[in-house]
Amino acid sequence: MDLNYSSDELAFRDEVRGWLAAKLPDDLRDKVETYAELTRDDLMRWHRLLAAKGWVAPAWEQRWGGTGWTAVQRNIFEEECGAAGAPPIVLFGLHMCGPVLQRFGTEAQKQRFLPPMYKGEEFWCQGYSEPGSGSDLASLKTRAERRGDKYIVNGQKTWTTLGHFADWIFCLVRTDPAAKKQEGISFLLIDMKTPGITVRPLMLMDGMHHVNEIFFDDVEVPAENLVHEENKGWTVAKYLLGHERMSAGRTGVLKRELAKLKDFAARQPGSGGQTILADTHFREKLTRVEVEIMALELTNLRFLDAMRRTGQPPGADVSMLKIKGTEIQQTLTELMMQAADPADLHWQGVLAHRYCNMRKVTIYGGSNEVQRNIIAKATLGL
């Protein structure tokens, strides 16, 4: 096992760092650093800058704009973007639906959807979770009935992140209610402008509008928008979720947030004229989370080394990255709250919003409890 970067990989890292230092707009970096809300225009401006460079979809097939980078190079790129304070790339199109279409889509679907997805001309969201069907996704009830050359969709999706920005939604729908849970599901692409779709905001604890509930009332979807085979959508869903969880560690972001926490804690007034860093218990927590980030980074490198040697994607144990990465995100926000000066109402408000928002990260992408079950069954054989 080799957890070190090669000289070529180090040179690539320097190239990425140099480009980010020169091209990442200051106003976008500042928004990320101060936890300000990113608008659709902010997200798509960064998307288009990366697309113009040819770096927006590294994992795609080169025919459709992929870079041809190795798994290690893709990881370096993601980590450097996180460390630099770049806005996130919205995952739903580029990292989820795009790979699905390249793997399961028809040639017509690829020609129609991949170019505008790459260029940032269409914004995508994900229609998976429903009331009562979150972690147990296979119990979903949104119904799609085939009528001639159309599907008629009725039902509800919930917790739809950035659905109010979206032009398109990819949805899991039930096309055979008589089949076993996983066997009667299909994967549809739906235009959000279609009559019968209603998007309602769900305001979260932090007071922000990030997620939505979406209602489908006799929504007509062309049958040509079915991806893969009817009633075989669970195969597509599992493929998609594998892409989501590999990028859940986000050690570049975590290291940047840790450095910010240390600097923040060193500047906040505490009791007796000392900062909170004089508190033994706080320093212990800070040290523990730093060690956890180091361990997470090494675990991520171990997965990458295996991919570099075998050329195969990681197995179910990649869920470890999702579990620890999201738990560390929450710990960092908790320590920032502890470090903040109670008299500084501005930062108290900003950090309280962020603390509330981070409660969701151990749930999305499959809750951490579900991830532990996956590891227990698939990796440990329990």
CA distance 222 to 150: 4
Instruction: Look up residue 31 and give its two tokens.
Output: 């928004």
**Dist. CA 119–CA 47, nearest whole Å:** 8
Which one of the listed residues 122, 230, 244, 334 is annotated catalytic?
244
Q: 297: how many CB neighbours lie within 10 A of its CB?
A: 17
H/E element holding 333?
Answer: helix 319-339
Q: Which pLDDT does position 243 carry in this prediction?
A: 56
Sign of CA dihedral 89, 91, 12, 75: positive
Q: What is the mean pLDDT of the chain?
A: 91
Cα–Cα dist 283/276, whole Å = 8
Q: Per-residue pLDDT tens for 261-292?
A: 999 999 887 666 788 999 999 999 999 999 99
Residue 331 is predicted with a pLDDT of 97
**Residue 87: which residues within 8 A CB-CB, separation 6 or more?**
28, 31, 32, 38, 42, 43, 46
The per-residue pLDDT for range 229-273, each reduced to its tens digit, is: 999 999 998 888 765 555 666 899 999 999 999 999 998 876 667
- Average pLDDT, integer, range 294-316: 81
36-91 pLDDT, tens digit each:
999 999 999 999 999 999 999 999 999 999 999 988 899 899 999 999 999 999 99
Q: What pLDDT is attached to residue 250?
A: 84
Residue 382 has pLDDT above 90, yes or no: no
**Domain spanning 124-231: CATH 2.40.110.10:** yes
Q: For residue 2, what are the contacts with CB-CB under 8 A and spacing of at least 6?
A: 305
Told to judge if 244 belongs to the known catalytic residues of this protein, a careful annotator would answer yes
Confidence of residue 332 (pLDDT cuts 50, 70, 90): very high
User: Does the pLDDT of residue 135 top 70, yes or no?
Assistant: no
User: Which band of pLDDT confidence, cut at 50, 70 and 90, is reported for residue 32?
Assistant: very high
Cα-based distances in Å from 130 to 172, 182, 213, 366 = 10, 15, 9, 13
Q: Please give the residue that has the higher pLDDT: either 25 or 370.
A: 25
CATH of range 248-379; options 1.10.3720.10, 3.40.50.300, 3.60.20.10, 1.20.140.10: 1.20.140.10
**In the chain, where the domains are located:** 7-89, 124-231, 248-379
**pLDDT tops 90 at residue 223:** yes
Q: For residue 245, what pLDDT is reported?
A: 55
pLDDT tens digits for range 121-134: 999 999 999 998 87
As given in the structure block, the two tokens for residue 194 are 């279609």
**% of the chain surpassing 90 pLDDT:** 68
- Rounded Cα–Cα distance for residues 362 and 175 (Å): 30
